[in-house]
Structure 1
């Protein structure tokens, strides 16, 4: 059975800075407590990540995922290949400018490969949502989300 989680936050930064932070894949483990390793396998012509390999650890379970990203001017989505821990995963960030700030909506749908007790699902959701929103906010506000020209 699919598990769904979502949260909205407001970050005091423009959408472009948030998308730049999300595109900085190798830095994700510095702001997301569940990510232990992240590596870009291939990129689109504009430099944004297309295929990404990540190692995540949640509730003591380690999973190695291959994610395929798609980018828009105010959104990013990814889908994960099947792994031993999950049948499917779909994640998305949707951004909406609000003056000098941006409303960020994070949605995740995950289909675990085995049924999990409700209390574990609840704890996992809390951890994932905090990493995906508050972790991102701290990273962006620290000014580390801006991609520097090469």
Structure 2
């Protein structure tokens, strides 16, 4: 399960603006295709989610899962936001990172890294293809929401 899939995209906004959209978990159902409901179970003193429950409906995969977040970002939004899976009935692992860095022209380079493992057997090649689809969709939806 050491394999991880990653991709990146440039978003025409400052890192803080990108991070604001990523951190607004409760708005995910408005702009992500598969996330249908979000509940912040535990928040940090600054209001950001520490433990967050998601209800997912991605066609063949439906699940409710809880992620634990680690906010390694500075006040400008630069840094890494990582998460690990705490609870799920379908997923064995859903661990990832958004890494935000400055790009020319006041834009942000967003690198997304993800590893997924299901409780049902799946060929590594199919799992990596699913990871790639998740990443590409998430990055394009994020870009559209931020630049919207």
TM-score category (smaller protein): 0.7 to 0.9
Which residues in structure 2 correspond to 1:52-131 (within 5 Å)?
Answer: 52-73=52-73, 74-99=79-104, 100-117=106-123, 120-121=126-127, 124-131=130-137
Find the aligned partners of 2:85 and 2:124 in 1 and give their Cα distance: 23
- Aligned partner of residue 72 in structure 1, secondary structure: strand
Q: What TM-score do the two structures reach when normalised by structure 1?
A: 0.84
**2:114 is the counterpart of 1:141:** no
- Return 5+ residue gaps in structure 1 as ranges: 143-150
Q: How many residues align?
A: 142
Find the aligned partners of 2:134 and 2:128 in 1 and give their Cα distance: 10
Which residue does the alignment assign to 1:145?
none
- Return 5+ residue gaps in structure 2 as ranges: 74-78
Which residue does the alignment assign to 1:29?
29
Which residue does the alignment assign to 1:38?
38
Let me know the Cα RMSD of the aligned residues: 1.9
C-alpha spacing 1:121/1:69, structure 2 compared with 1 (3 Å): same
Which residue does the alignment assign to 2:76?
none
